[in-house]
Amino acid sequence: MASADPDRAIASLPWLDASITADRDAGAFSAWGESTIIDENTGEPVIGTGLFTALHDRAGISATWPVGNAGLLHCYGYLLSRAATPYGLKRERWLSSELARAAGLSDDALSPWRPGPTLLSRAARLMTSALADDAAHLDIAVPTPDGTVPSRVGILHNASTSAVAYSVAGLLITAFPVSAPPEQIRADLSAEAPRLRWNAVLPAPAHPYRVS
């Protein structure tokens, strides 16, 4: 239904429709950066153009395919995605308990339809904590044509479960569980040339960043 009639698909999930409206009214999407909906592993879109447009229209966000708001896409768009990736379905980060467990939270802390604060607001709170200066993290200066843009990977680990959170220029991008211990995550990231990761794109002019 999501691809054939995206508006109807969103409206058929009252908690999702209400969540997007609440996040829009709270200005919550402004804490997030920008992301392409083209998956970096498959080279294919995770959701179609109709759903991409319907989500951004409901959120009151101006976006031009395939780049949109990372919070809207990575939280709500991924929930409606059926695209296969080498790491499974995108929605699993919200439907499984691994990400919440890595952050030391209850198994249902990120359940999309849990009453109370929206999924996006709960994800943002988790990520903000994981990306704080006093949390375990790795700072990476990403080269750009005009200098560099700062990015940060927060590394979460609890009870043998790991996850990462990611920001670019201080704006939230994504979070997901990983099957590696913290030292391996840090080593792998440090060994590669600095680059934007996990479908992030450079901030739009409305979100200026410091160039060094």
pTM for this one?
A: 0.93
Residue pLDDT, tens place only, 157-191: 999 999 999 999 999 999 999 999 999 999 999 99
pLDDT tier at 3, thresholds 50, 70, 90: low
Q: Mean pLDDT across the chain, nearest whole number?
A: 93
How high is the pLDDT of residue 205? 56
Which two structure tokens, joined as six digits, stand for 52? Answer: 């991409």
Contacts of 104 (CB under 8 A, 6+ apart): 158
How high is the pLDDT of residue 206? 45
Q: Assess if residue 210 is contained within a domain.
A: no
Cα distance between residue 178 and residue 160, in whole Å: 11
Residue 208 scores a pLDDT above 70: no
How high is the pLDDT of residue 11? 87
Q: Assess if residue 31 is contained within a domain.
A: yes
How high is the pLDDT of residue 87? 87
Q: How many domains does the chain have?
A: 1
Residue bearing tokens 């395919």: 65
The residue among 203 and 132 whose pLDDT is bigger is: 132
Q: What three-state secondary structure class fits 101?
A: helix
**Is 198 within 8 Å of 166 (Cβ atoms)?**
yes
Hey, what amino acid is at 66?
Answer: P
Whether the upstream peptide bond of residue 117 has omega within 30° of 0, thus cis, is no
Q: Assess if residue 115 is contained within a domain.
A: yes
Residue 209 scores a pLDDT above 60: no
Whether the upstream peptide bond of residue 66 has omega within 30° of 0, thus cis, is yes
Residue 4 scores a pLDDT above 70: no
Cα distance between residue 146 and residue 153, in whole Å: 22
Q: Assess if residue 208 is contained within a domain.
A: no
How high is the pLDDT of residue 212? 27
Containing structural domain, residue 53: 6-201
